[in-house]
């Protein structure tokens, strides 16, 4: 009977409690903000359990502190679903997490957030268990996304659990019976060798019987007739031989290319300043959410208090698209996103200082 491989199931740490998960998420919320719908649900809107690990890279970059805090309490990447849901429900009840924007109950929203967090950890686990998957995911990540994933893998203690074959008792019994059969066949080979030598010497001492049969003379062969036939056949074959036709081959495509053909142009790598300007709405410490737009004639930054609020103009840059516009927008975005207690007038003053 064939044996099937048995794969161990990864289980969460039984010592991990709801309080530990609630504390870890609360520490991250104190630095990221309370809107987990924007930080977790929106980046994972089109991601499923069967998606590639690279699909969760935007979510890792949107809330790196959240996943690092959870990896600290669950380094094997296994988050208990029930305990995680209870921790999120407690934070929703205390107001540390904002309620859902759409019409869903608090329990359904807690389940939704818990599933998203567990799905991200599953993608990180697949990178930790397979070097090829990690390399393929890193090749599709930006500099910030790769740094967050590298930090999570450094804290991850998960190792791949390969299939294990169970031991069959019938196979052990068969091996034992074979060992007993081998022991029964343990003979005295030296004694057998001596008896064989005696039989061989006795057989060689007997005279061999004389052969009475006479040898039959070979039949006479007409050599002249054979030589004449061979000469006739060889002459005919030599006359009929024709040289094989010469096959003309087309020249290779590479030989047709002129020597002065220009080499293909390589696309220049993006500048560092352009990589610092993100796309879409991003959280800000002073204005809620901000968005950078680089137009042809000028660039500008918009702000709004929440996802459903109406956006307004925070600051504009009257410089045409180019390196100077990119530098100014990147500096304004960093200041508006990272500093607290800023006003619109302070951002405009900072812009005027940059343009001097």
**48 within a domain of the structure (yes/no):** yes
SS3 track for 303-333? EECCCCCCCEEEEEECCCCCHHHHHHHHHHH
Beta carbons of 94 and 87 less than 8 angstroms apart: no
**Domain annotation covers residue 317:** yes
Whether residue 60 lies inside any domain: the answer is yes
Expressed as residue numbers, the domain containing 34 is: 18-155
Tell me the pLDDT of the chain (356 aa) as tens digits.
454 444 567 788 888 898 998 888 888 888 877 777 777 887 888 888 888 999 989 988 888 888 888 888 888 888 888 998 898 888 888 887 877 766 678 888 888 888 888 889 898 988 988 889 989 999 999 999 899 898 989 888 876 654 444 434 444 444 444 444 444 444 454 555 555 555 556 555 555 555 555 556 555 656 666 666 665 654 444 445 556 666 666 655 555 555 555 555 545 444 454 446 777 888 988 888 889 888 888 888 989 988 888 899 888 888 888 888 888 888 888 888 888 888 888 888 988 888 77
**Residue 170 belongs to some domain of the structure:** no
What mean pLDDT is reported for the chain?
Answer: 74
Question: Could you tell me how far CA 6 lies from the centroid of its own chain?
Answer: 24
Specify if 47 maps to a domain.
Answer: yes
Total domains in the fold of the chain? 2
Q: Of 101, 121, 155, which residue constitutes the final position of a domain?
A: 155
In 3D space, the residue among 90, 114, 93, 146 whose CA is nearest the CA of residue 41 turns out to be 114
Domain boundary among 140, 155, 170: 155
Residue 235 located in a structural domain: no
**Is 288 within a domain?**
yes
Task: Report the predicted TM-score, pTM, of the whole model to 2 decimal places.
Answer: 0.44
Last residue of a domain, one of 121, 155, 189: 155
Q: What is the pLDDT of residues 277-313, one digit of tens each?
A: 777 888 988 888 889 888 888 888 989 988 888 899 8
Residue at 285 is within a domain: yes
């Amino acid at each position: 009977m064939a044996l099937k491989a048995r794969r161990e199931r990864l289980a969460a740490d039984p010592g991990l409690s709801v309080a530990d998960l609630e504390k870890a998420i609360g520490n991250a919320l104190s630095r990221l903000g309370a809107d987990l719908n924007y930080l977790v649900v929106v980046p994972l809107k089109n991601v499923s359990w069967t998606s590639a690990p690279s699909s969760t890279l935007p979510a890792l970059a949107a809330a790196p502190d959240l996943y690092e805090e959870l990896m600290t309490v669950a380094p094997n990447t296994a988050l208990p679903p029930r305990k995680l849901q209870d921790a999120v429900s407690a934070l929703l009840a205390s107001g540390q997490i904002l309620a859902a924007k759409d019409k869903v109950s608090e329990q359904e929203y807690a389940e939704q957030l818990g599933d998203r967090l567990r799905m991200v950890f599953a993608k990180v686990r697949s990178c930790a268990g397979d070097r090829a998957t990690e390399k393929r995911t890193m090749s599709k990540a930006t500099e910030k996304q790769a740094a967050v994933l590298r930090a999570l893998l450094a804290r991850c203690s998960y190792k791949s659990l390969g299939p294990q074959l169970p031991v069959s008792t019938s196979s052990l019994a068969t091996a034992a019976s074979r060992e007993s059969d081998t022991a029964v066949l343990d003979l005295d080979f030296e004694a057998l060798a001596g008896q064989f030598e005696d039989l061989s010497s006795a057989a060689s001492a007997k005279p061999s019987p004389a052969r009475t049969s006479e040898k039959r003379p070979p039949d006479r062969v007409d050599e002249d007739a054979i030589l004449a036939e061979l000469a006739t056949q060889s002459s005919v074959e030599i006359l009929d031989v024709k040289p094989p036709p010469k096959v003309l081959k087309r020249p290779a495509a590479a030989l047709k290319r002129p020597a002065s053909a220009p080499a293909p142009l390589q696309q220049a790598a993006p500048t560092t300043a352009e990589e610092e300007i993100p796309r879409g709405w991003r959280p800000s410490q002073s204005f809620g959410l901000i968005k950078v737009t680089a137009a042809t004639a000028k660039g500008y930054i918009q702000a709004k208090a929440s996802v459903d609020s109406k956006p307004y103009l925070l600051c504009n840059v009257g410089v045409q698209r180019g390196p100077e516009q990119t530098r100014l927008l990147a500096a304004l975005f960093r200041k508006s996103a990272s500093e607290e207690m800023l006003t619109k007038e302070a951002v405009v003053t900072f812009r005027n200082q940059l343009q001097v």
